[in-house]
């Protein structure tokens, strides 16, 4: 990586630019190489609007002064291939469907410059055989992300054409993404919808929050209860849920579940409402969140593709601790029994 000295430039929003998103305007003006690069600069507090740090999604107004901190020369960052195991479920000349292991970050960052999924994809495919549609050289093949400590199904693209199609399908809500989460407390309704906007936390930059603010982005999650577990000495019970994402905001499921008073078990960041006892985390050192199902149309052939991924060993182990407290599978739980382990447990008990 080559590090360059920084300089500041000022852009005054013209009348024709009134109402544009900050990151889009900065990219359109050529101040940053891409919208993604502009968004990164805003997240790093390198962009001021009217003298204040601004979110990437801020709507700018005519006459406002935007001050950007720029590098004199673009930094050079090459993602090196690393022999990191990949659990590939489908692969052709256009895309890869894989199950990401917990603890594997999606792409490099300043704190983690290597050892990521992007490094593994470069080793597996070669840098020249991965898409680069996000405008950043540190995200080869990446079209969407999972949190580092979230496991499960994920898409990667080999060509720019397939990458652009997949990213647009995700934006258009044409990719069916479902997760299994174990949350604290008992959710008595079998289905629910959480429609609450999410933005960067106003004081803690590494966290997101549900905010009633102009810059917050819409976020929609639906739930189906799979199984409930009665409360114990160190907890207030648990609910196993299937979450379907209609939007893809950072930490969306974790933020939404905390917002409704049912934080994800094992989450180290979004803990409001969780029992204080360490035992309530069921031995987990990461959040109980797994991308269990993925369905979409192939970006080139149009063929319908669908994939399912069972819970990994650490999450099954956590469930085994409370299985004797189960109130039984719901109808949705019976549909998902092969993924969550309930079917095998029921057979053993019969």
Cα–Cα distance measured from residue 101 to residue 148, given in angstroms and rounded to the nearest whole number: 9
The 10 Å Cβ neighbour count of residue 350 is 5
Cα–Cα distance measured from residue 88 to residue 317, given in angstroms and rounded to the nearest whole number: 23
DSSP character string of 176-205? EEEEEEEEES---SSEEEEE--EEE-SS-T
Residue with tokens 């969140």: 289
Contact 156, 164 (CB under 8 A): no
Cα–Cα distance measured from residue 253 to residue 221, given in angstroms and rounded to the nearest whole number: 7
- The residue from 23, 136, 138, 147 that is catalytic is 147
Is residue 71 part of the annotated active site? The answer reads no
Identify any residues that bridge with 154 across adjacent strands, giving them in sequence order: 98
Cα–Cα distance measured from residue 327 to residue 336, given in angstroms and rounded to the nearest whole number: 16
Instruction: Provide φ and ψ at 86, rounded to 5°.
Output: -120, 130
Structure tokens at 307: 């994939």
Structure tokens at 122: 């470069």
Contact 227, 328 (CB under 8 A): yes
Helices first, then strands: H and E counts in the chain? 9, 16
Q: Which of 31, 111, 39 is nearest to 69 (CA)?
A: 31
* Maximum Cα–Cα distance across the chain: 72
Residues taking part in catalysis: 147
């Amino acid at each position: 990586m080559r590090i360059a000295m920084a300089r500041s430039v000022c852009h005054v929003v013209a009348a024709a630019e009134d109402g544009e998103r900050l990151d889009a305007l900065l990219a359109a003006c050529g101040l940053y190489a891409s919208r993604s690069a502009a968004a990164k600069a805003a997240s790093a507090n390198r962009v001021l609007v009217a003298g204040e740090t601004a979110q990437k999604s801020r709507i700018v107004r005519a006459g406002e002064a935007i001050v950007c901190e720029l590098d004199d020369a673009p930094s050079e960052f090459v993602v090196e291939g690393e022999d990191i195991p990949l659990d590939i479920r489908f692969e052709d000349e256009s895309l890869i469907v894989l199950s990401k292991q917990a603890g594997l970050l999606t792409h490099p960052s300043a704190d983690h410059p290597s050892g990521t999924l992007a490094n593994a994809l470069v080793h597996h495919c070669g840098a020249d055989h991965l898409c680069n549609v996000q405008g950043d050289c540190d995200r080869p093949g990446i079209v969407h992300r999972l949190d580092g400590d979230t496991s499960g199904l994920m898409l990667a693209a080999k060509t720019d054409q397939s990458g652009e199609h997949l990213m647009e399908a995700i934006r258009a809500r044409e990719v069916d993404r479902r997760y299994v989460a174990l949350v604290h407390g008992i959710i008595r309704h079998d289905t629910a919808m959480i429609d609450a906007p999410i933005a960067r936390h106003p004081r803690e930059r590494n966290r997101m929050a549900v905010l009633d603010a102009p810059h917050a982005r819409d976020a929609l999650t639906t739930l189906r209860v799979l199984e409930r577990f009665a409360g114990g000495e160190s907890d207030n019970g648990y609910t196993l849920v299937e979450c379907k994402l209609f939007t893809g905001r950072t930490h969306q499921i974790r933020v939404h579940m905390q917002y409704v008073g049912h934080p994800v078990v094992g989450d180290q960041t979004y803990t409001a409402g969780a029992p204080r006892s360490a035992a309530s985390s069921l031995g987990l050192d990461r959040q109980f969140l797994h991308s269990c199902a993925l369905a979409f149309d192939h970006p080139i052939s149009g063929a319908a593709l669908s994939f399912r991924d069972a819970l990994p060993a650490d999450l099954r182990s956590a469930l085994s601790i409370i299985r004797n407290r189960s109130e039984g599978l719901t109808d949705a739980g019976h549909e998902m029994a092969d993924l969550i382990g309930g079917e095998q447990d029921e057979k053993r008990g019969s």
